[in-house]
Structure 1
């Protein structure tokens, strides 16, 4: 985010990520439908439960070349075997022809100077990656650093998801979606989508080797997807476009498309679809800016002022930094909204802590817009109150708030000038920070009491509906 007063500055940060390459308070409820029920995940109940390799899992059906026989390769071999069995049974339902497994699986240790293996023609020393090699029709992975780190950070299913993504490249190639001329950005998000298709089957209990809960289990997978985002680049970076994979928002969206709608939707992912989904969201940082606006009293005031300009409420909410009693909602947290007094209350130290720039052990990013999206979400509750006709204190209100926060986020892609001469504008990385916060703490996707739904998948999905839609769509979807 950036704020300028006539002439201003901004802050930002770049993150290092693992790149997947092609050669390289809980609310209760009853399910209604895929979208109408806030307690479900793509039509399934949102529940916690076992996630990972089953105790009674079938043995891997594939051999692994250059294996050390350890548990990491055992897990990876089980994952590929399970993924192949899924596509063998489901490929023909969507694509022409028959599914053909890859020719070989290769493991290596990127930290071992004595490992003489090669993958896709490259020396594996220092190759901290997993990939699908189109030329050799093989899938390989680093057992020395990459897969152990993924498992430690996000569990067994993060390893399985990485390999489901890599196998997605093979599936896309067989189906004619992927060619040597396919842009990397398209190929990667097709594979994200196809990984989501497989993971849906695991969540439905159809795997003989793995389980995946739709609560914490799926949340951990989304955290891993966020970690796989592209690093922030500036306008002068020559690398942009050559090996672009997508932002966290884009990659999580592609995964969710496959998980929710099945393999057919993955066929629709091309440059036009990605560009339409991206819209005017910023991708690159100006060379002289960082993208991080320090969380201060002045900056929070500017954000609220910008929302007043963007939405023009007849009765603008009052902003205070002093805790006050609210007769019709629970206050507290970094920011809250009181309908009775039409007041947004901000706990500045707590908000500043929320917006601190960091990357946690799972790879999830936080920054200024992790905090500002919470303030925006409380403003959007004032918008809901003024519109009337909807509850502010239930699960649908929580997701409606997330949706409207997505609408507000897009409004900030163009600079908004406030009455005092400040301008507020979204910068590259801000949407990913909002998505991370919605997944990890859910405050920007909570109702007026600060309660949200258990599924991070559903919270992010609601936010995306707003990013790709408008206010009316949010009110219609979550009525």
Structure 2
């Protein structure tokens, strides 16, 4: 968030940021009701926890790895590429013109060793995984990047990274990525989309080598994608130059592929991304950090901004007395922000909200938590009040939870141009705020909670509902989650 005063290409690569998962949301159980808006399904698949990773009876890999040390990382990578090629051998000719062509070779390196090259670059200190357009090869750092991702998110984090890199090869062969004409931003999100297509196949249970549950397993894959987002652009950097995309954008592209298949990846181009971005900020302004420390004053400003943006006939009251949430007669507390319909009151546990909105200071971990992780939860409770005023909406079930996430997305977009409050200040969305909200939706789910703070099992569904609101409007949310 940003408060202010106003008067009146050879290499397609991954990054190395790590996000820790922490689960604290209460998840709802229930029955399925429809296909894509069903709170208990993920892109049409049942949302369930279960086995995720390499199958114990997986066949041996079909591909050899040059430079391998024979360790577990390289074994998983070879299995991942073998599985990807089994998938695309069948899927490619059913989607694209021509025949599937596997990559020429695979290379593993230790970035601590002085010797070695990949894609005409030295592998010394090269902490990365990448597809090389020059010779149609895929390579990875087996010592730092892939082990760190695996330690944080499990085996499928390695498979996800290589599915993305193989996506570059598929997009190139299919002609939807043209190396010299296609911007990096477009090529990267096309590859994210194609990774989603493959991982849908795994989640369906069709892979002979891997399993992926649509609950905690897919949550881990999405968390790894959060970790691989671009850093925030500074004022002196150029938008569009060597961008891969924010976490919000990259997960959106992944979800397109997972839900709609490979044809949806064709539609990702510069125009589509520009339309999807709209007025959403992607670059920090001069002297801007993007962080507004959570305080009583900042909470009041956010609520006032919501009053201005949505003009409810009876704006909700704001309380910092946590006892009032416990005494609510028609809703349970959902700390650190709770809404009580009986009294039309939002109760904020300020210390809890401050903890949620404070970026991690652990130098070893670049988490995505920040001020909007907290403010999105506060806004979600405000949108409960808006739903009450709309009338006729059930607020204590799984559909209500996703409707709340969707409307929180609508509120987020309203802040993209800034809302000026009574004291002359402006509260506005900044670069990174969407990613912070997505991190919260994945790790705690509270911004996708019903009136009692209960969420749905799959982080995929929570993020998908939020994105629907960010890219849509109030009516679209009610149509999808009636």
Once the two structures are superposed, the pairs formed by residues 250-261 of structure 1 within 5 Å of their partners are 250-261=249-260
SS in 2 for 1:49: coil
Q: Distance in 2 between matches of 1:342 and 1:377?
A: 14
Q: Distance in 1 between matches of 2:86 and 2:333?
A: 51
What residue number does 2:192 align with? 192
What residue number does 1:352 align with? 354
Deviation at 1:6, TM superposition (A): 4.7
SS in 1 for 2:195: helix
1:465 pairs with 2:479: no
1:179 pairs with 2:178: yes
Q: Distance in 1 between matches of 2:15 and 2:416?
A: 25
What residue number does 1:92 align with? 93
What residue number does 1:11 align with? none
SS in 1 for 2:125: coil
Q: Does the CA contact (< 8 Å) of 1:226 and 1:363 recur in 2?
A: no
Once the two structures are superposed, the pairs formed by residues 41-56 of structure 1 within 5 Å of their partners are 41-56=42-57
Q: Distance in 2 between matches of 1:471 and 1:311?
A: 10
1:327 pairs with 2:366: no
Equivalent in 403, 418, 426 of residue 400 of structure 1: 403
Q: Does the CA contact (< 8 Å) of 2:396 and 2:452 recur in 1?
A: yes
Q: Distance in 2 between matches of 1:332 and 1:224?
A: 27
Q: Distance in 2 between matches of 1:6 and 1:348?
A: 28
Q: Distance in 1 between matches of 2:473 and 2:448?
A: 16
Q: Does the CA contact (< 8 Å) of 1:282 and 1:426 recur in 2?
A: yes
Q: Distance in 2 between matches of 1:388 and 1:421?
A: 33
Q: Distance in 2 between matches of 1:67 and 1:333?
A: 49
What residue number does 2:431 align with? 428
Q: Distance in 2 between matches of 1:265 and 1:184?
A: 18
What residue number does 1:18 align with? 16
Deviation at 1:241, TM superposition (A): 2.3
Q: Distance in 1 between matches of 2:112 and 2:254?
A: 31
Q: Distance in 2 between matches of 1:319 and 1:75?
A: 52
Q: Does the CA contact (< 8 Å) of 1:51 and 1:211 recur in 2?
A: yes
Q: Does the CA contact (< 8 Å) of 1:31 and 1:43 recur in 2?
A: no
Question: Alpha-carbon deviations, 1:236-283, whole Å to 9, x = none?
Answer: 125x42210000000000000000000000000000100111111101
Once the two structures are superposed, the pairs formed by residues 33-432 of structure 1 within 5 Å of their partners are 33-113=34-114, 116-180=115-179, 181-238=181-238, 240-323=239-322, 324=324, 325-358=327-360, 364-432=367-435
Deviation at 1:95, TM superposition (A): 0.3
Deviation at 1:118, TM superposition (A): 1.3
Question: Alpha-carbon deviations, 1:34-91, whole Å to 9, x = none?
Answer: 3231111111111000000111111000111111111111110000000000000110
Q: Distance in 1 between matches of 2:128 and 2:474?
A: 41
Question: Alpha-carbon deviations, 1:429-468, whole Å to 9, x = none?
Answer: 1111011101110110000101000100000000000001
Q: Distance in 2 between matches of 1:184 and 1:154?
A: 26
Q: Distance in 2 between matches of 1:292 and 1:147?
A: 30
SS in 2 for 1:358: coil
Deviation at 1:93, TM superposition (A): 1.1
Q: Does the CA contact (< 8 Å) of 2:193 and 2:253 recur in 1?
A: yes
Q: Does the CA contact (< 8 Å) of 1:17 and 1:363 recur in 2?
A: no
Q: Distance in 1 between matches of 2:300 and 2:168?
A: 47
Q: Does the CA contact (< 8 Å) of 2:330 and 2:340 recur in 1?
A: yes
SS in 1 for 2:417: coil
Q: Distance in 1 between matches of 2:481 and 2:269?
A: 29
Deviation at 1:364, TM superposition (A): 4.1
SS in 2 for 1:290: coil
Q: Distance in 1 between matches of 2:390 and 2:415?
A: 21
Which stretch shows the higher mean deviation, 37-46 or 359-368? Answer: 359-368
SS in 2 for 1:131: strand
Unaligned runs of 5+ in 2: 8-13, 18-25
Normalising by structure 2, what TM-score? Answer: 0.94
Normalising by structure 1, what TM-score? Answer: 0.94
Q: Distance in 1 between matches of 2:124 and 2:336?
A: 46
Deviation at 1:381, TM superposition (A): 0.3
